[in-house]
Amino acid sequence: MSRAAQRDIQPRSGLAGLRERLGDEGFAFGLRIILILGIGVFLSASTQGQSFLSTANILNVLRQASLIFLLASGLTLVILAGGFDLSVASNLTLSACLAAGVMKATGSPLLGAAVALGCSTFAGLCNGMAVTLLRLPPFLATYGTLWILQGLAFHYMGGNEIFGFPPAFRLLGTGFVLGIPVPVYLMALVLALGTVVTRHLNIGQEIYAIGANPVAARLSGIPVRRRQLAVYTASGLMAGVAALVYLARVNSADSGIGEPLLLPAIAAILIGGTSLFGGVGSVLGTVAGSVILALVINGMNLLNVKSTWQPLVVGVVLLVAVLADLLSRGRRERIG
């Protein structure tokens, strides 16, 4: 056996070896856990452990992370497959506004939910068709959809807000089951589903393959366009789910609710270790990214960090998270 082949078979030492043993995703996730724990330790020390480490606060942070995660979960699949969906936030806005209007008019949470999910999934489907049938570049196609959905929301709301939803519906955002907030269960459910799909079903492997190398994927007989359609539709669906959780938490809708959520959703995905180019990453990573984002704000509020410093702190934490990932990745790429 040649020296080179032997080198490939022996497990490597050090950081690169650890990465091999855990697998890319395991390593990336481990890195983020360390980051989360690091922030956690710092915050516990600073707040004397009382407020930060309490069960109530941890559940609080998880609940806050869940909204961004739900919005970003479908988008993660799209990015894994090498695409992009800029319209998720506007999709959330329009779905939420329509659901709000329907719930106000009919008093029925079920009808509102149906409208939200139906419209958001349909928008996702349209994105998918624009990318697969019209062959538009994903960035441009979804940027166009962003404006269309936002414009429809403006038109529908007319500068007004809709507020006050049925208490049964609000349980989705404010309710607790066995002491754990309902949105956290949703996050766990979507995480489980997402992980099963991406790791244990063929469709998941195909999505990664399409993201890593679309030509090879196509030549291997993977129905690339059908899978792309599926991920864009999933992204739309999850935007609708996030819209419902938003309405249940905040109890109000206006045409500006989605826009501030787009960048945090993308950031959560990237911090979680998913590559913008596709083929690398995980839904679990997006959970970690969402939690890190929520943790930072939680920490700043608990420590009463002055508002002048807050953007700086957020920026530094994000850079550290991305840098840590790049550093660990870089060493591997340089070997072999």
Partner 1 sequence: MRTWNTLRLAGIVAAVVAPVLIGAQPAHAANERLAAFYKNQVDPHFGLVRGGVEAVVKQMGAGAVTHYAPTRPNNLAEQLSQIEDVSVKRPDAILFMAVDPRGVVPAIEKVNAAGIPVLNYNDRVAGGKYTTYVGADDFKLGLDTGRYALRAIGGEGLVVIIEGVKGSTTSDQRVAGFNKAIEEFPKIKLLASQPGNFQRLPALQVMENLMQAHPRIDMVLAAADAMALGAVEALEAAGRKTAKVVGINGVPEAIAAIKAGRLLATGEFDGYKIGCVAATAALRGLRGQPVPATIILQGTVIDRSNLGPWDVPMDKRVCPKWEEVAR
**Which residues of this protein are in contact with partner 1, per CB under 8 A?**
47, 51-52, 54, 56-57, 60, 63-64, 67, 147, 150-151, 154, 157, 159-161, 163, 173-174, 246, 249-252, 254-257, 259-260, 294, 297-298, 300-302, 304, 306-308, 310
Q: How far is CA 132 from CA 38, 84, 139, 180, in A?
A: 43, 13, 13, 41
The whole-angstrom separation of Cα 322 and Cα 318 is 6
* Closest CB 297 distance from partner 1, rounded Å: 7
Provide, rounded to whole angstroms, the least separation between the CB of residue 156 and partner 1: 12
Looking at beta carbons only, is 10 or 308 nearer to partner 1?
308
Determine the 3-state secondary structure of 253 from DSSP: strand
Residue 270 burial by Cβ neighbours in a 10 Å radius (0-12, 13-18, 19+): buried
Least Å distance, CB 302 to partner 1, is 5
At closest approach, how far in Å is the CB of 315 from partner 1? 15
Q: How far is the CB of 332 from partner 1 (least distance, A)?
A: 37
Cα angle 169, 170, 171 (rounded to 5 degrees) comes to 90
**165 secondary structure, DSSP code:** -
DSSP character at residue 158: T
**Closest approach of partner 1 to the CB of residue 234, in Å:** 24
Whether residue 272 contacts residue 285, with contact meaning beta carbons closer than 8 Å, is answered with: yes
If the CB atoms of residues 187 and 231 are measured against partner 1, the closer one turns out to be: 187
Whichever of 66 and 132 has its CB closer to partner 1, that residue is 66
Question: 29 or 246, CB closer to partner 1?
Answer: 246
| Residue 231 vs 293, nearer CB to partner 1 | 293
16 or 294: whose CB is closer to partner 1? 294
Q: Are 232 and 125 in contact (CB under 8 A)?
A: yes
Pairing of strands 176-177, 252-253: unpaired
